[in-house]
Amino acid sequence: MKDFTEMMDAARSRGPCRAVVVGAEDDAILLAVEEARRGGIIQPILVGDRRGVAESARKLSIPVSSYRVVEARSLKEAAAEAVRLVAQGEGDILVKGLIQTADLLHAVLDRGSGLTEGRTLSHVGVFLVPASERFKEKFLLVTDAALVISPTLAQKAEIVQNAIDLAHRIGIPEPIVAILCALETVNTSMPATVDAALLAKMADRGQITGGKVEGPLALDNAISVEAARRKGIRSELAGRADVLVAPDIEAANILYKALVFFADAVEAGIVVGARAPIVLTSRADSARNKLYSLALGALARR
Amino acid sequence: MKDFTEMMDAARSRGPCRAVVVGAEDDAILLAVEEARRGGIIQPILVGDRRGVAESARKLSIPVSSYRVVEARSLKEAAAEAVRLVAQGEGDILVKGLIQTADLLHAVLDRGSGLTEGRTLSHVGVFLVPASERFKEKFLLVTDAALVISPTLAQKAEIVQNAIDLAHRIGIPEPIVAILCALETVNTSMPATVDAALLAKMADRGQITGGKVEGPLALDNAISVEAARRKGIRSELAGRADVLVAPDIEAANILYKALVFFADAVEAGIVVGARAPIVLTSRADSARNKLYSLALGALARR
B283: pLDDT strictly greater than 90: no
Distance between CA atoms of residues B216 and B218, nearest Å: 7
Residue of A226, A262, A264, A280 to mutate for B, most B C-beta atoms under 10 A: A262
Residue B146 three-state SS: coil
The band of B286, judged by pLDDT with boundaries at 50, 70 and 90, is confident
Average pLDDT of the residues in A67-82:
95
The band of B146, judged by pLDDT with boundaries at 50, 70 and 90, is very high
Distance between CA atoms of residues A54 and A50, nearest Å: 6
Mean pLDDT rounded to a whole number for chain A? 95
Q: Read off the amino acid at residue A181.
A: C
From the CA of B40, how many Å to the nearest CA of chain A?
Answer: 30
Is the predicted ipTM greater than 0.90, yes or no?
yes
**Per-residue pLDDT tens digits for A153-204:** 999 999 999 999 999 999 999 999 999 999 999 999 999 999 999 999 999 9
Give me the half-sphere count of Cα atoms (radius 13 Å) on the Cβ side of residue A101.
13
**Per-residue pLDDT tens digits for B159-193:** 999 999 999 999 999 999 999 999 999 999 999 99
Give residue ranges of B with CB < 8 Å to any A CB: 129-132, 135, 145-146, 149, 180-183, 189-190, 192, 218-220, 223-224, 227, 230-231, 246-255, 257-265, 283-284
Which of B272, B161, B146 is closest to B208 using CA atoms?
Answer: B161
SS3 labels along chain A: CCCHHHHHHHHHHCCCEEEEEECCCCHHHHHHHHHHHHCCCEEEEEEECHHHHHHHHHHCCCCHHHCEEEECCCHHHHHHHHHHHHHCCCCCEEEECCCCHHHHHHHHHCHHHCCCCCCCCEEEEEEECCCCCCCCCCCEEEECCCCCCCCCHHHHHHHHHHHHHHHHHCCCCCCEEEEECCCCCCCCCCHHHHHHHHHHHHHHCCCCCCCEEEEEECHHHHHCHHHHHHCCCCCCCCCCCCEEECCCHHHHHHHHHHHHHCCCCEEEEEEECCCCCEECCCCCCCHHHHHHHHHHHHHHCC
Q: Do B182 and A250 touch (CB under 8 A)?
A: yes
A vs B: CB pairs below 8 A = 128
Instruction: Write the CA distances from A2 to A10, A127, B101, B107, integer angstroms.
Output: 11, 11, 41, 50
Distance between CA atoms of residues A32 and A281, nearest Å: 10
* pLDDT at residue number B249: 98
Give residue ranges of A with CB < 8 Å to any B CB: 129-132, 135, 145-146, 149, 180-183, 189-190, 192, 218-220, 223-224, 227, 230-231, 246-255, 257-265, 283-284
Q: How many CB atoms lie within 10 A of CB B137?
A: 12
Distance between CA atoms of residues A8 and A126, nearest Å: 13
**Number of helices and strands in chain B (H, E):** 11, 11
Report the percentage of chain A scoring pLDDT > 90: 91
Which of A7, A273, A239, A1 is closest to A160 using CA atoms?
Answer: A273
> Is cis: bond before B63, omega within 30 of 0?
no
Which of A21, A224, A44, A177 is closest to B264 using CA atoms?
Answer: A224
Average pLDDT of the residues in B104-126:
94
Convert A197-231 to b/e letters by CB count within 10 Å (16 or more is b).
bbbbebbeeeebeebbbbbbbbbbbbbbeebbeeb
Burial of A111 (0-12, 13-18, 19+ CB in 10 A): exposed
* pLDDT at residue number B117: 87
Closest residue of A to B283, CA-based? A230
Residue B46 three-state SS: strand
Residue B50 three-state SS: helix
A41: pLDDT strictly greater than 80: yes
Q: CB neighbours of B237 closer than 8 A, spacing ≥ 6?
A: B176, B178, B212, B213, B214
The band of A111, judged by pLDDT with boundaries at 50, 70 and 90, is confident
Dihedrals phi, psi of B154, to nearest 5 degrees:
-65, -40
* pLDDT at residue number A287: 84
Distance between CA atoms of residues A11 and A293, nearest Å: 11
Dihedrals phi, psi of A20, to nearest 5 degrees:
-95, 115
Which candidate from A181, A262, A283 shows the least CB-CB separation from B132?
A262
The sign of the dihedral angle between the CA atoms of B78, B84, B89, B90 is: negative
Distance between CA atoms of residues B143 and A205, nearest Å: 37
A195 near A202, Cβ under 8 Å?
no
* pLDDT at residue number A2: 92
A298: pLDDT strictly greater than 90: yes
Average pLDDT of the residues in A209-216:
98
Q: Which of these ranges, A276-280, A285-289, B51-55, B297-301, has the smallest mean pLDDT?
A: A285-289
A241 near A209, Cβ under 8 Å?
no
* pLDDT at residue number A264: 95
Which of B82, B57, B124, B106 is closest to B297 using CA atoms?
Answer: B124
Phi-psi sector, A206: left (phi>0), alpha (psi -120 to 50), beta: left
From the CA of A80, how many Å to the nearest CA of chain B?
Answer: 26
Residue of B185, B193, B261 to mutate for A, most A C-beta atoms under 10 A: B261
Convert B261-289 to b/e letters by CB count within 10 Å (16 or more is b).
bbbbbbbbbbbbbbebbbbbbeebbeeeb
Residue of B262, B280, B282, B283 to mutate for A, most A C-beta atoms under 10 A: B262
Q: What strands, in cross-sheet order, belong to the sheet with B17-22? A: B68-71, B42-48, B17-22, B93-96, B278-279, B266-272, B122-128, B140-143, B243-245, B176-180, B212-217
> Is cis: bond before A144, omega within 30 of 0?
yes
Residue B89 three-state SS: coil
* pLDDT at residue number B58: 93
Average pLDDT of the residues in A123-144:
97
The band of A53, judged by pLDDT with boundaries at 50, 70 and 90, is very high
Q: A-chain residues within 8 Å CB-CB of B257?
A: 218-220
Average pLDDT of the residues in A102-113:
92
The band of A117, judged by pLDDT with boundaries at 50, 70 and 90, is confident
Which of B135, B210, B224 is closest to B176 using CA atoms?
Answer: B210
Q: Do B253 and A149 touch (CB under 8 A)?
A: no
Instruction: Write the CA distances from B266 to B134, B256, B285, integer angstroms.
Output: 14, 11, 10
The band of A136, judged by pLDDT with boundaries at 50, 70 and 90, is very high
Q: Read off the amino acid at residue B271.
A: V
B282: pLDDT strictly greater than 80: no
∠ CA B57-B61-B64, nearest 5°, is 45
Q: CB neighbours of B89 closer than 8 A, spacing ≥ 6?
A: none
* pLDDT at residue number A64: 83
Mean pLDDT rounded to a whole number for chain B? 95
Which of B137, B147, B214 is closest to B174 using CA atoms?
Answer: B214
Which of A103, A106, A73, A79 is closest to A20 using CA atoms?
Answer: A79
Average pLDDT of the residues in B254-277:
97
